Amino acid sequence: MPDSLLVLQNDPDKPLGRIADGLARIGIPLDVRSPQRDLPAVREYAGLVVLPGLADPVDEDAPVQRARDAINASLDAELPILGLCLGGQLLIQALGGAIYPCPPELGFGDVVASPAASTDPLLGGAPERFSIFHAHAFAFEPPAGAEILLSNDLCVQACRVGRTWAFQCHPEVTHEWVAALASGIRGQDGGLLAATASFFARSGVDPDQLEHDAALAEPASSTVASGIANGYAAQLG
C-alpha cells in the first residue's frame, strides 16, 4: 500500500479524529494498526502517523517499543512522520531530543505560533494565537536545529525537523470526542476508556468548562486540523 499511511493508534479511544477526516476528504487511505500487535514494515507505506496514548514516553513495554521501532524505521526510510502527544514525544526522542516530566496540562489552553509557523507546510494557515486541547504530564525538548512552531508558557507545543512534525497539543481532537470525555468525567458512559476519563477526573477538570471551551475553540480547531491534513498529504509525494 505505497499510497497509504500507516497510523499507529496506541489506545482504542484515541483516533486521528479531525485530521483523519481531512485526509479522507483528500482521498488518502489510512491503515490503522495497534502496536499491541506486530506491525507491518513501514516501507509498504507513504508515511507514518503515531497517535496519543495513556502510556508514558519513558515506558519500555512492548507496544511502546513497537512504536519506537516504527518511527526509527520511518526515519531511515525518509518517510514523512506526524507524531501527536505520546507519538510526538517518541519522535523527538528518536530525533535526538529529550522528554521530561512537566506539570499536567489538561483541557483547552492557548498556544502561540512562531514566525516559522507562517511558512510551515502544515501550520501556515494557523492563527497567531489559538486555543487547543491539551492532555499531558510529559513535554519534549526539540533537538538542535528543529524549528519551533507552537509554544506556550509551559513548553514547546509543536516543532518540525525536515519532513517530521511533533505536536505536544492535540489538533486531532473533535468536538464529539470532548463531549464523550465530559460524560466520562461526570461518571457516565461516554464510550471512552475508563482510565482516560479518570485521568482528567482525578485532576479536577470541570466537564462543563471543558465543553464550553471546546465550543469557543471550534473555528480555530477546524482550520488548524484541516491545514495539517492538507499539508501532510502534500508531503506524501
DSSP string, 135-155: EEEEEEEPPTTPEEEEE-SSS
**With 0-12 CB in 10 A as exposed, 13-18 as middle and 19+ as buried, what is 18?**
buried
C-alpha cell at 95: 530525533
Q: State the alpha helices, DSSP H only, in 4-61.
A: 17-26
pLDDT tens-place string over residues 12-68:
999 999 999 999 999 999 999 999 999 999 999 999 999 999 999 999 999 999 999
For residue 188, being part of any structural domain is answered with: no
- Other C-beta atoms within 10 Å of 117: how many? 24
For residue 193, being part of any structural domain is answered with: no
For residue 131, being part of any structural domain is answered with: yes
Continuous segment of H or E residues that includes residue 7:
strand 5-8
For 95, phi then psi, to 5°, come to -85, -5
DSSP string, 79-90: --EEEETHHHHH
**From the DSSP assignment, how many helices (H) and strands (E) are in the chain?**
6, 9
C-alpha cell at 75: 526515519
C-alpha cell at 86: 505520546
Length, in residues, of the chain: 237
* pLDDT < 70 regions, the chain: 1-2, 237
For residue 132, being part of any structural domain is answered with: yes
For residue 148, being part of any structural domain is answered with: yes
- CATH number, domain with residue 149: 3.40.50.880
- Other C-beta atoms within 10 Å of 145: how many? 9
Per-residue pLDDT, 3? 79
d(CA 85, CA 42): 21
Per-residue pLDDT, 130? 98
d(CA 9, CA 74): 16
**How many domains does one find in the chain?**
1
- Other C-beta atoms within 10 Å of 4: how many? 15
For residue 182, being part of any structural domain is answered with: no
For residue 202, being part of any structural domain is answered with: no
pTM recorded for the entire structure: 0.96
Per-residue pLDDT, 15? 98
State the residue range of the domain holding 142: 5-175+210-235
Per-residue pLDDT, 1? 44
For residue 199, being part of any structural domain is answered with: no
